[in-house]
A and B are shown apart, each in its own frame.
Chain A
């Protein structure tokens, strides 16, 4: 994971994790009404973000949690977290609400 991304990332406390079918879930932004679907791995990552975590540690925890992580797991996690941040669902440390 790139150096610049290795900051602490924390879930936006306004966002609701809504567990729906099986282990899938929705992230719900009550201010906009928008939802974002999460697969079970996304839910696992979100729960880490709720505590706040360094991005490198997030990847490590995800890889440790699965026995057969694909070779590009690190990249997938990184992209997912970046997307979550881009959508305003989580924040990098030091960033403020826009």
Chain B
């Protein structure tokens, strides 16, 4: 396996603030290593965006905390635009004012504002995000839509909304009129670690979520996506199971810790300006913006190379994966989850382990295992 590296990351994920008006029960940011005690002033970000622009970085994704919590967000966005980049914003949607929405639209460079909606009704959404925030988030989406800003929604699937997924899809796609939305699941990071019983799906609930999400994907073709969580897992695991049943040869890019391609195209920066490989791995500090050279860190930092080289570690080398019939088809999944659950980055993530899921009584949807033949 050869590891070729582009000269500079294509995109940079920036936690632009550590501040947030909410404290969601399963927030992956607070109480994790990215939860730092200071934000950088506008001027520091301006200098950094000039460096990104000079090197040809194409996209910046602003997250937090809550990006709209920053009073100087317009100046920050203006600087991204001046430096010939595009941007996306991840938001809880509750602080979006019409004037800000018009400003974002006028830049012509906004790929999307992603708002989190976790329920079809306020009781569900607010149960983990705080009272009154459903209405505010939906209003935020409508404000963005009125200004012509591209809006997407991320639904985090958890124990309280897992039986409401079809109404959520209907609200988002039929009611609010979004073109699409994506899903993931409350995962063992940040505040979720303390609230796992309350928030994280059991194997049975995960099976239910998979079944429902697949039905919804059929009902709304091309409009629901996932890179993590039950929908993504159902598709990947069904493929693994079928390959194992047929005793297929090892699949390309499988059988090793290949679950994360991020460090080959992306980098991240914490709210205090520390370079990190990924926002979810805030403890791996690679340097500091405006002091250390981005190019040098990207191309040469030993910790970043160590992280990239995990792709060369075979799953067969882990006791955890011993005798697993899926080992030739598995990627070991997200290193940040692996780190949170096992204390090791160079380990498969137990959260995304098909064998464990089955041992815990989880079932993959029948429709994936025995698809109806097309006549």
Contacts and interface: CB of A to CB of B under 8 A. Distances in A.
Interface of A: 14, 16-21, 26, 28, 30-31, 33, 35
A31 B111 contact: no
B261 to A, nearest CB: 15
Contact of A30 (B7, B10, B85): B85
A39 B58 CA distance: 19
- Interface size class of chain B, counting residues whose CB lies under 8 Å from the partner chain: 10 to 19
A62 B17 CA distance: 48
Contacts of B6: 20-21
Given A16-B84, A20-B6, A21-B6, A31 B58 contact: no
A57 to B, nearest CB: 26
A16 B108 contact: no
Nearest to B10: A18
24 contacts: A14-B84, A16-B84, A17-B56, A18-B10, A18-B56, A18-B58, A19-B7, A19-B8, A19-B56, A20-B6, A20-B8, A21-B6, A26-B56, A28-B84, A30-B58, A30-B81, A30-B84, A30-B85, A30-B86, A30-B109, A31-B108, A31-B109, A33-B86, A35-B58
Contacts of A35: 58
A31 B111 CA distance: 10
Contacts of B56: 16-19, 26, 28
B306 interface: no
Q: Which of A14, A20, A21, A30 has the most CB of B within 10 A?
A: A30
Given A18-B10, A21-B7, A26-B56, 16 more contacts: A14-B84, A17-B56, A18-B8, A18-B56, A19-B8, A19-B56, A20-B6, A20-B7, A20-B8, A21-B4, A21-B6, A28-B56, A30-B85, A30-B86, A31-B109, A35-B58
A38 B81 CA distance: 24
A21 B58 CA distance: 15
Nearest to B80: A30
Nearest to A19: B7
Interface string B106-132: 001101000000000000000000000
